[in-house]
Structure 1
Amino acid sequence: MDYKKIAQDLLTAIGGKENVSAAAHCATRLRLVLDDEEKVNKDQLEEMDVVKGTFSTGGQFQIILGSGTVNEVYKEFARLTGLGEMSTKDVSKAGSKKLNPLQQFVKMLSDIFIPIIPAIVAGGLLMGINNLLTAEDFFIEGQSLISAYPNIADLAALINTFANAAFVFLPILIGFSATQRFGGNPYLGAALGMLMVHPDLLNGYGYAAAVANGEVPVWRIFNFEIEKVGYQGTVLPVLVASFILAKIETFLRRRVPSFLDNLVTPLFSLFITGVLTFILVGPLTRSAGNILTDGLVFLYDTTGVVGGALFGLIYAPIVITGMHHSFIAVETQLLADIAKTGGSFLFPIAAMSNVSQGAATLAVLLLTRDAKVKGTASAAGISALLGITEPAMFGVNLKLKYPFIGAIVGSAAGAGFVTLFKVKAIAMGAAGLPGIISIKPGTIPFYILGMAISFAVAFAVTIVLGKRDAKKQKAN
């Protein structure tokens, strides 16, 4: 490929170098912050063989080029624009200035939770393996694997310990990531998280029982009682506490003399935030978090199939806006409080949506005669079935419109089905075919059937709409 020419053609199509304020790349996409997206000639971009699709999200205009190609094109693009090498974090920061307050809030949640997802996924998948080992009737009728083979019981116990670690100490992970995002020292954030799960405190999972029995331990300071309760598996308390910590630290660093800064600022930042957390922030946000979780579970249980189908219908449109990143915080709380929630209902619905996008794209592969669309659809369709939908959604389905309609109809059908049978995830993972291991063992067959329904409906509807669309074009 002539990467220099490709970069020049891309630059021309997006309005010239004067229209580019920031540029970086990820594994498959060129990620740009443009001064005016109205200047972009999308038709010209779509005519380029190297371009697999384009979309705008989070204040960024992104061009899908594919793995390997994007690296070489970016080198020439950076040289032509004179911007030099930039990271995706730099571009993300520049793009966030163009967002409205709601979009900025969603992006903030995304920035906090995306870095810690690998740890949560690892713990969740280990939890799934443990459940497979301990579930009765899954492999052997009337028995679990560990009851049939007692010599692997300790292996299951070992895996369970490893699996729980990320959720028991979740405030440490969130404290580090959130404090860094809010502009504070991430290690102070981690220390705050450690303080909130300290073994001297009553374990947060036992708080409800302790309240019922009147056995909540307290610190008595100057006739004032502060509950000695931990925040294991919580999300909201540590988020708010991390924000306060970062702001107190920033405030003190601007005012404390430099020769005292390293002594005074960390000391007072952590102490003041810790006291506020146990007196005010923790109790209030724990209650708010419980209300949010209970409300979501109530809606899921009450709306049933209709609610699940509706959520499945609108899930892909939500992804287009980028608002789906806010679900990460909710899903993390649902999984952390799995004893009460039974798991996450968001994951199965997301999986139905992803499979539907893949099915619709593969239907286009069958229908189209355009070689470029075929090339994009074949890879993008399989990628979507595995949980990565951006190439399929933005490169094929939204561009042609009718496959996107087929996909959301298929998603609604599959989501309604998995909701009917109370399919929930016990771990985060790839929301698609590989997501089977993340599902509660007893509902795995229904998850598989749900994916089959999503695929079949999306594929069939896309074929019907595609043929109707082709007839209209011939008539015109």
Structure 2
Amino acid sequence: MNHKQQAEQILEAIGGKENLSAATHCVTRLRLALVDEGIVDQEKLNQIDAVKGSFSTNGQFQVVVGQGTVDKVYKEFIALAGIGESSKEDVKEASKQKMNPIQRAIKTLADIFIPILPAIVTAGLLLGINNILTAPGIFWDEKSIIDVYPQWSDIANMIIIIANTAFVFLPGLIGWSAVKKFGGSPILGIVIGLILVHPELLNAWAYGEAVKEGTVPTWNLFGLEVEKIGYQGQVLPVLVASYLLTKIELFLRNKIPDSVQLLFVGPIALLVTGFLTFIIIGPVTFAIGNWITDGLVAIFDSFSALGGLIYGGIYGVLVITGMHHTFLAVDIQLIGSTGTTFLWPMLALSNIAQGSAAFAIMAASKDEKLRGLGLSSGVSAWLGITEPALFGVNLRFKYPFIIAISSSAIAGLYISAQGVLANSIGVGGVPGIFSIVAEYWGHFLVGMAIVIVLPLVGTYLYAKRKKDV
């Protein structure tokens, strides 16, 4: 492949160097901040050999090139455009001006939760292994593997400790990522997060029972009674506390001489934030988080099939807008409050549906490039990353996307009506079954069959009839 020629063609298709503000790349994609995305010649871009798809998200125009090729094309691209190499932050900054307040808020949540996602997904997979070892009824009636083979019980116990750590100390992970995003010192973010789950505090999961028994411990601050509780599994308290901590830290750094900042900035910022969190922020956001959780649970309890139909159908649309990142926080909140989530299983099925539609285009097409793109993007979607399938294949022809979201809506309706739950966030695709509560595996497999067969058959038959691939 002539990388310079490919770069020239990409630059021409996006409207020339005059339409380019900044450019960087990740493992597989060119990430561009464009002056006007409306003048991009999408048809010409799709015909370029190196291009496997393109999409716009959060103010960035991203061109899928592929691992190993993208860095070579990028070097030629910036040389032709006459711009220097940009960092991801540079491109994000250049893209900000094109985003409305809602998009900025969504992007902020995404920037906080995406960095900690590997830890959460890893924990989910390990919890899946623990489920296989400890859940009764998978291999024997009313017995688990450790019931039949007790020598495996300590291994299962070690696995659950390793797996649970990311969830037990979740506020520490969120604190690190949030403070880093807000511009403060990440180490202070870790500390404020861990303060909220200190072992001296009443565990949040035991709070409800303690309220019933009247045994909630309290501090007496000069007559003010403050509940001495932790915030395990909670999202909102640490998000707000991290924002406040950063603002206080940055204010103090501007006022205190560099020579004594180490003595004053951290201690003052943590003390003020800690007191305000336990007195005001924690109780208020804890209540809000519980209201959100109770509201969602009540809606799905009363209208489970309808809720599944709607969420299963719109999740693919949410990915296009980037709003799906907000539901990661909701899933984490549900798991933290109830121990399970009914939303995540529908996410996994939606991803599988998009992959199945991409596979159908691969099977129906005679174009070698499109067949290769359908295969690679379909595998990616079945492993939880749907953007290549969405933007490279399904939205390009429209009907694969429509068939995929219709299929995931049907599957969402079915699994919600059956009450399928996940006890962790795992890989949002075919391996997602390991994150499902074991007693619902059968129903989830039916949902998987729906999102594999319907998009695959429906898209293939329609593509053959339309003859556009």
| Shorter-chain TM-score tier | over 0.9
What SS does the corresponding residue of 2:62 show, helix, strand or coil?
A: strand
2:191 aligns to what? 191
2:355 aligns to what? 358
Q: Measure, in 1, the Cα distance between the counterparts of 2:345 and 2:224.
A: 47
Residue pair 1:58, 1:99 contacting (<8 A) in 2 also: yes
Aligned-pair distance for 1:464? 4.0
TM-score, with structure 2 as normaliser? 0.96
- The letter for the 1-side match of 2:150 is P
Matches within 5 A, 1:233-382: 233-339=233-339, 343-382=340-379
Matches within 5 A, 1:117-196: 117-196=117-196
1:387 aligns to what? 384
Matched, 1:421 2:418: yes
Deviation sequence 1:172-191 (CA, Å, 0-9, x none): 11111111111111111111
Residue pair 2:293, 2:334 contacting (<8 A) in 1 also: yes
- The letter for the 2-side match of 1:230 is G
- The letter for the 2-side match of 1:311 is Y
- The letter for the 2-side match of 1:266 is G
Deviation sequence 1:292-322 (CA, Å, 0-9, x none): 1111112222221222012111111111111
CA RMSD of aligned residues (A): 1.6
TM-score, with structure 1 as normaliser? 0.95
- The letter for the 2-side match of 1:377 is G
Task: Choose the corresponding residue for 1:455, options 448, 452, 455.
Answer: 452
Moved more, 37-46 or 362-371: 362-371
What SS does the corresponding residue of 2:303 show, helix, strand or coil?
A: helix
Q: Measure, in 2, the Cα distance between the counterparts of 1:122 and 1:369.
A: 38
2:96 aligns to what? 96
Matched, 1:61 2:58: no
Deviation sequence 1:242-269 (CA, Å, 0-9, x none): 1111111111211223333222211211
Q: Measure, in 2, the Cα distance between the counterparts of 1:395 and 1:222.
A: 63
Moved more, 362-371 or 244-253: 362-371
Matched, 1:405 2:402: yes
Q: Measure, in 2, the Cα distance between the counterparts of 1:129 and 1:372.
A: 38
Moved more, 313-322 or 367-376: 367-376
1:221 aligns to what? 221
Q: Measure, in 2, the Cα distance between the counterparts of 1:164 and 1:49.
A: 45
Aligned-pair distance for 1:370? 2.8
Residue pair 2:312, 2:412 contacting (<8 A) in 1 also: yes
What SS does the corresponding residue of 1:337 show, helix, strand or coil?
A: helix
What SS does the corresponding residue of 1:107 show, helix, strand or coil?
A: helix
Aligned-pair distance for 1:238? 0.6
Q: Measure, in 2, the Cα distance between the counterparts of 1:307 and 1:207.
A: 29
Residue pair 2:179, 2:185 contacting (<8 A) in 1 also: yes
What SS does the corresponding residue of 2:348 show, helix, strand or coil?
A: helix
Moved more, 384-393 or 308-317: 384-393
Matches within 5 A, 1:461-476: 461-470=458-467
- The letter for the 2-side match of 1:242 is S
Q: Measure, in 2, the Cα distance between the counterparts of 1:432 and 1:193.
A: 30
Aligned-pair distance for 1:402? 1.4
Structure 1, unmatched stretches of 5+, are: none
Residue pair 1:348, 1:423 contacting (<8 A) in 2 also: yes
Aligned-pair distance for 1:127? 1.8
Residue pair 2:125, 2:427 contacting (<8 A) in 1 also: no
Q: Measure, in 2, the Cα distance between the counterparts of 1:439 and 1:387.
A: 15
Q: Percent identity?
A: 50
Deviation sequence 1:257-298 (CA, Å, 0-9, x none): 333322221121111111100110000000000011111112
- The letter for the 2-side match of 1:289 is G
Residue pair 1:406, 1:462 contacting (<8 A) in 2 also: yes
Residue pair 1:338, 1:426 contacting (<8 A) in 2 also: no
Q: Measure, in 2, the Cα distance between the counterparts of 1:377 and 1:332.
A: 32
Q: Measure, in 1, the Cα distance between the counterparts of 2:192 and 2:215.
A: 25
Aligned-pair distance for 1:468? 4.3
- The letter for the 1-side match of 2:366 is R
Q: Measure, in 2, the Cα distance between the counterparts of 1:179 and 1:371.
A: 47
Residue pair 2:133, 2:145 contacting (<8 A) in 1 also: yes
Change beyond 3 A, Cα 1:159–1:338 = farther
Q: Measure, in 2, the Cα distance between the counterparts of 1:266 and 1:382.
A: 47
Aligned-pair distance for 1:467? 4.1
Deviation sequence 1:136-194 (CA, Å, 0-9, x none): 11112231111111111111111122222111111111111111111111111111112
Aligned-pair distance for 1:415? 1.4
Residue pair 1:331, 1:346 contacting (<8 A) in 2 also: yes
Moved more, 382-391 or 150-159: 382-391
Residue pair 2:123, 2:426 contacting (<8 A) in 1 also: no
Q: Measure, in 2, the Cα distance between the counterparts of 1:324 and 1:65.
A: 24
- The letter for the 2-side match of 1:121 is V
Residue pair 1:304, 1:419 contacting (<8 A) in 2 also: yes
- The letter for the 1-side match of 2:411 is G
Aligned-pair distance for 1:463? 3.2
1:86 aligns to what? 86
Q: Measure, in 2, the Cα distance between the counterparts of 1:32 and 1:47.
A: 19
Residue pair 2:290, 2:337 contacting (<8 A) in 1 also: no
Q: Measure, in 2, the Cα distance between the counterparts of 1:307 and 1:219.
A: 42
Residue pair 1:413, 1:457 contacting (<8 A) in 2 also: no
Residue pair 1:409, 1:457 contacting (<8 A) in 2 also: no
Moved more, 189-198 or 101-110: 189-198
